[in-house]
């Protein structure tokens, strides 16, 4: 399906969210329950193949269209967007860097969701500094033997495959030259040790993993050559940052929608609170933040689709849109007053979900550093 059908895709998605997601989000999120039935319907819609090429059974959508899909899903429930995002970062790594045999073997199964998963990067002592990972893969004949621990891994309990970052040569300097990326399917030695309890982003499986003499065949080394893993996954993280930025747009817009609706219903001193200047100032700021985030995401996605280096654009989008989500969620709660603090309403869920966005896929502190470095590099004195 091409982007010429974007309107059809987004309309179908809106109907799906209205009928199959919105009525169930509150209870699923409150119970921290994985949405199995919703995920099966997402598979049927082809959402797990959004950006996978049509020749491999995917929808072949542009990053721009995908970002709009993510923002719309997030307006209903942010956790659902994470279920496809981590999966598609993995798929993107294979599509961009895999061998022809790997693409033919894995991408069609990724597109249908038969194989569904994410990326295994973060470790207990390593998040932003990926070169500090300790998980190793030692070559033994036609296999690599993996040992180590990963944490904060999305789609790891109910998924069945990861793009797994390891060190195939721990002694190499600089460290990234000894890092490799594998397509790691679940089997003996791939252990889900515990599910992590979170403030927000509930319902989605985020776990700690243990690899104990886990064997992965040499033909699952992405690209077939050792030492390229960090570069392979960093290109996918640009996509991830655009996704998280799109989530920020979704949360910021959801908070704005709730605030606008409530401000017309709630009355004080004989008139709706939307007629009070104090509330109008808040709504004006919220609307501007959400729209600015949306436009930055659109620009970053366009740069990514053109094949340009876009770490600065993705960083700007991620920083602005996720800060907008944080600020809008807080302002929405203030506008709702005591009702915003109640678990009966969706406002408090947005308030709990938003903080993850300023941390995940590279903290917003890191984004500002990336932006500044690229700004200087692109504008030499």
What is the set of active-site residues? 361
Total H helices, total E strands in the chain: 11, 9
DSSP state of 117: E
H/E stretch holding 109 reads: helix 100-112
Distance CA 256, CA 259 (A): 5
Distance CA 123, CA 108 (A): 29
Distance CA 77, CA 22 (A): 8
Strand partners, 216: 144
Preceding peptide of 178 cis, ω within 30°: no
Cα-flanking dihedrals φ and ψ of residue 351, to 5°?
-65, -30
DSSP assignment of 238-281: HHHHHHHHHHHHHHHHHHHHHHHHHHHH-EETTEEGGGSHHHHH
For residue 53, which of 1, 116, 113, 117 has the smallest C-alpha distance?
1
Distance CA 261, CA 266 (A): 9
For residue 110, which of 154, 166, 181, 159 has the smallest C-alpha distance?
159
Check: CB of residue 207 under 8 Å from CB of residue 157: yes
For residue 91, which of 215, 270, 3, 222 has the smallest C-alpha distance?
222
For residue 357, which of 246, 198, 222 has the smallest C-alpha distance?
246
Give the number of other CB atoms < 10 A from CB of residue 251.
32
Cα distances from 172 to residues 216, 227, 239, 309, 341, in angstroms, run 22, 9, 28, 27, 52
């Amino acid at each position: 399906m091409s982007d010429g059908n974007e309107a059809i895709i987004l309309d179908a998605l809106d109907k799906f969210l209205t009928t199959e997601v919105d009525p169930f989000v509150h209870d699923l999120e409150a119970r921290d329950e994985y949405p199995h039935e919703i995920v099966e319907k997402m598979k049927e819609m082809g959402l797990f193949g959004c950006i996978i090429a049509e020749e491999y059974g995917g929808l072949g959508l542009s990053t721009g269209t995908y970002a709009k899909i993510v923002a719309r899903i997030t307006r209903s429930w942010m956790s659902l967007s994470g279920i496809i995002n981590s999966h598609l970062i993995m798929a993107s790594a294979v599509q961009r860097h895999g061998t022809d045999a790997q693409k033919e073997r894995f991408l069609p199964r990724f597109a249908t969701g038969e194989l569904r998963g994410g990326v295994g990067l973060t470790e207990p002592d390593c998040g932003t500094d990926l070169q500090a990972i300790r998980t190793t893969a030692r070559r033994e004949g036609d296999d690599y033997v993996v040992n180590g621990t990963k944490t904060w891994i999305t789609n790891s309990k109910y998924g069945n495959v990861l793009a797994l970052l390891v060190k195939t040569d721990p002694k190499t300097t600089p460290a990234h030259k000894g890092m490799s990326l594998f397509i790691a399917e679940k089997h003996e030695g791939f252990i889900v040790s515990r599910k992590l309890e979170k403030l927000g982003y509930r319902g989605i499986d985020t776990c700690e993993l243990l690899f104990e003499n886990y064997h992965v065949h040499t033909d699952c080394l992405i690209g077939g050559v050792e030492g390229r893993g960090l570069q392979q996954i960093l290109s996918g993280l640009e996509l991830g940052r655009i996704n998280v930025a799109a989530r920020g747009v979704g949360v910021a817009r959801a908070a704005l929608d709730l605030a606008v609706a409530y401000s017309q219903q709630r009355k004080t001193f004989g008139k709706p609170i939307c007629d009070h200047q104090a509330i109008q100032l808040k709504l004006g700021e919220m609307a501007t933040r959400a729209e600015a985030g949306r436009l930055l995401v659109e620009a970053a996605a366009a740069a990514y689709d053109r094949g340009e280096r876009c770490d600065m654009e993705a960083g700007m989008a991620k920083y602005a849109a996720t800060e907008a989500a944080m600020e809008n969620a807080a302002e929405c709660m203030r506008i709702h007053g005591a009702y915003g603090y109640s678990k009966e309403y969706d406002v408090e869920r947005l308030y709990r979900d938003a903080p993850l966005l300023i941390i995940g896929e590279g903290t917003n502190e890191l984004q500002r550093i990336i932006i500044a470095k690229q700004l200087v590099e692109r504008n030499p004195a």
